[in-house]
Structure 1
Amino acid sequence: MIVLISKRQTVAWLSPFLVLVLLFFLVPLLYMLITSFQNSDGFTLAQYQSVLTNDYILQGFKNSITLSVISAVIALIVTLFSVYAIMRFSQPVREKILILTNLTSNFSGIPLAFAFIVLLGNSGLFTLLFDKWGISALSSFSLYSWGGLLLIYIYFQLPLALMLLYPIYDGIQQQWKEAAALLGASTWQFWMKIGIPIMLPGIVGTFSVLFANAMGAYASAYALTSSNYNLVAIRIGSLIKGDIFAQPELASAIAVILAVTMVTAMLLSEWSISKTRRKL
């Protein structure tokens, strides 16, 4: 039986979604944009001038971009090999691994930071065990430093990267490998000439998602280092809540520039993906 849906019914079904997008995306976005051009005297560009001339804020952008890029690259490399290994298991085992990965991807924010503090903090479980056993592997490691932040960022990037890369690997058909083998190609040649070029657009897209995910992370970094490490997300939070004086206008300007940075990364990713696909 063919069911004909009128335009009025379509609009009625989409209305809740449109209202949700309007209230929780467009309205906050417009408010943030308008606020970034305001101060007590009215319209001004002073907030953006402050952002672009303040060395401390620029350092926050540098730290966030560096941390995001490195964590995304490491997570991507680890996941590429991990998914390749997972694909060698049977389908039921793969499904169980994906379920576990999906559950792990929801473990982030303050609970994740607390878990790492319990395990690797100054009085953490592994720290005390290593000291008791005379192992000095953690003697020079501080969870509350850049290295600790990088470790946490990599941890919450891995499940997301695996969930995004698994369908890409799954798209590599067995018939292609068999055809390449019949033509005399080795496994290495297959991946270099066929597998990786086909997967490259998806890998680039995954990297852009991981980069954006890390740039917007706040709760884990704040719970671990408070305001001791200069990141853009932490600076925005500090300006809104007002450690000394609240400056929501400056926070909005930083958030707008952060959004522009993330959108630029996504656009570069789309350009790279389209260019790669044209070559294929």
Structure 2
Amino acid sequence: MISKRQAFIWLSPFIVLVLLFFLVPLLYMLITSFQSNGAFTLQQYQTVLTNSYILQGFKNSITLSVVSAIIALIVTLFAVYAIMNFSEPMRERILILTNLTSNFSGIPLAFAFIVLLGNSGLFTLLFDKWEIGVLSSFSLYSWAGLLLIYVYFQMPLALMLLYPIYDGIQQQWKEASALLGASTWQFWMKIGIPIILPGVVGTFSVLFANAMGAYASAYALTSSNYNLVAIRIGSLIKGDIFAQPELASAIAVLLAVTMVLAMLLSEWSIAKTRRKL
């Protein structure tokens, strides 16, 4: 057994890392959001809450995050249910592949979709050549294209989060319910869904936060042509016209508050669901 002092010494590099790369930037962002020309002010928050363009960015980001999280969650629920019917070695291979694809995001993901579905993409040119009108009304650089990319990088994360939840449903429960005369539908309605529901709600909140904070894929695909909160923050920091780091910090703080509220709502829903079980 090591002493508390030794444990603290071993943990000190991790503590320094957290302080330098998480707490210090967070505090700096919070302080900067209340400043203007070196003086304390609420002007930045007033600008955010009264600027229709910034509010539209919040609306677009929340809508895109909610829709992509719901679609990814529904698809993954059926996918995980199907995976549970495979053998253990096959499940491990699928999880390894899923873990690899979960890291495929950002600019490389946007470039891959441009190569496949862009204006001169592989599938776009093939469908035009074969006179198949599937992609005639689809534009990768629109809301539909962003939704497609968001759903793509949300699904591996959802699968990794939902797999342990499904795995927690023991085979003995299914066998016991079958012996008592319950059908598969009755098992899932009375036992299966109530057990996995808290985990599904928690997964949704993680997917929502993951989509709200996504920046690289959306920026690489649409640059500043589509109004999202993350893109607005990046534009204000790097200064497409002129830099406004204080306003960017205020938007970032409100974005963080939105994510925290989503997490708290998720925790409340999970606790309420568990009390009913």
User: Do Structure 1 and Structure 2 share a fold, with TM-score over 0.5?
Assistant: yes
Aligned to 2:227: 230
Aligned residue identity for 1:49: Q
Residues 1:82 and 2:85 are matched in the alignment: no
2:184 corresponds to which of 179, 187, 191: 187
Aligned to 1:38: 35
1:276 corresponds to which of 270, 273, 276: 273
Residues 1:135 and 2:132 are matched in the alignment: yes
Query: Taking every aligned residue pair, what percent have the same amino acid on both sides?
Result: 89
1:105 corresponds to which of 99, 102, 105: 102
- What 5-or-longer segments of structure 1 have no aligned partner? none
- What 5-or-longer segments of structure 2 have no aligned partner? none
Q: Give the total of aligned pairs.
A: 277
1:154 corresponds to which of 138, 141, 151: 151
Aligned residue identity for 1:205: G
2:51 corresponds to which of 40, 49, 54: 54
Aligned residue identity for 1:221: A
Aligned to 2:254: 257
Structure 1 vs Structure 2 CA RMSD: 0.5
Residues 1:5 and 2:2 are matched in the alignment: yes
Distance across 1 between alignment mates of 2:159 and 2:260: 23
Return the offset for 1:36.
0.1
2:115 corresponds to which of 98, 114, 118: 118
Distance across 1 between alignment mates of 2:105 and 2:184: 37
Aligned residue identity for 2:113: F
Distance across 1 between alignment mates of 2:9 and 2:272: 40
TM-score, with structure 2 as normaliser: 0.99
Query: Which segments of structure 1 move beyond 3 Å, counting only runs of 4 or more?
Result: none
Distance across 2 between alignment mates of 1:41 and 1:101: 48
Distance across 1 between alignment mates of 2:93 and 2:112: 24
Return the offset for 1:41.
4.9
Return the offset for 1:279.
1.0
Residues 1:244 and 2:244 are matched in the alignment: no
Return the offset for 1:14.
1.3
1:198 corresponds to which of 190, 195, 198: 195
Aligned residue identity for 1:227: S
Aligned residue identity for 2:12: S
Residues 1:217 and 2:227 are matched in the alignment: no
Distance across 2 between alignment mates of 1:184 and 1:25: 54
Residues 1:173 and 2:170 are matched in the alignment: yes
User: Could you give the per-residue CA deviations for residues 204-254 of structure 1, whole angstroms, max 9, x where no partner exists?
Assistant: 000000000000000000000000000000000000000001000000000
